[in-house]
Amino acid sequence: MKIAIGADHAGYRLKDVVVPFLESLGHEIQDFGWHNEQSVDYPDFAQQVCNQVVAGEVERGILICGTGIGMSIAANKIPGIRCALTHDLFSAKATREHNDTNVLALGERVIGPGVAQEIIRVWLETPFSEGERHIGRIGKVKSLEDKYSTHP
């Protein structure tokens, strides 16, 4: 699977563990940085990763900041993105089955690399359930996106 990944200064260490992990699973990774402790702004990385997802250049995106919260807020502003901030295995599975999320946000300051890797593995492996009720609800989310979008 093609996957884009991005992090800020508070998430790059976890990203640098996650990238080789993903490659060892056979995934093709586009790494948009960041690469050191110099302070940067998480929305810039959310935008780069999410653009790739929306453009269909990659199937999924992974975003890491200190908490995962800023990244998830920024990502969910972008039409076509369904981003889940997920720090447990139950939610990682459920958000694929129910929400068909295409971006995963993680917080380096919240969980360790072992848990993060298992969350990522489950999130990547779990298919969308495609139940009628889930499709309908995702459609309603899309309607909200359309209704409140300021751009055509």
Catalytic residue among 9, 27, 65, 83: 65
Q: Which CB, 27 or 106, lies closer to ligand RB5?
A: 106
Of the candidates 65, 84, 59, 86, the one whose C-alpha atom is nearest the C-alpha of residue 14 is 65
35 is catalytic: no
Q: Which residues bind ligand RB5 (CB under 6 A)?
A: 8, 10, 42, 65-67, 69-70
From the CB of 105, what's the least distance to ligand RB5, in Å?
9
Q: Which CB, 52 or 72, lies closer to ligand RB5?
A: 72
Angle CA 42–45–46, to nearest 5: 85
Q: d(Cα 38, Cα 66) in Å, to the nearest integer?
A: 14
Q: Which CB, 65 or 84, lies closer to ligand RB5?
A: 65
Q: Which CB, 61 or 66, lies closer to ligand RB5?
A: 66
50 is catalytic: no
From the CB of 49, what's the least distance to ligand RB5, in Å?
15
From the CB of 8, what's the least distance to ligand RB5, in Å?
5
Q: Provide the token pair at 11.
A: 């998430």
**108 C-beta neighbours (distance < 10 Å), count:** 24
Q: Using DSSP bridges, classify how beta strands 60-65 and 28-31 pair: parallel, antiparallel or unpaired.
A: unpaired
From the CB of 111, what's the least distance to ligand RB5, in Å?
13
- 122-149 in b/e form (b: 16+ CB < 10 A) is bbbeeebeeeeeeeeebeeeeeebeeee
Closest residue by beta carbon to ligand RB5: 70
Active site (catalytic) residues: 65, 98
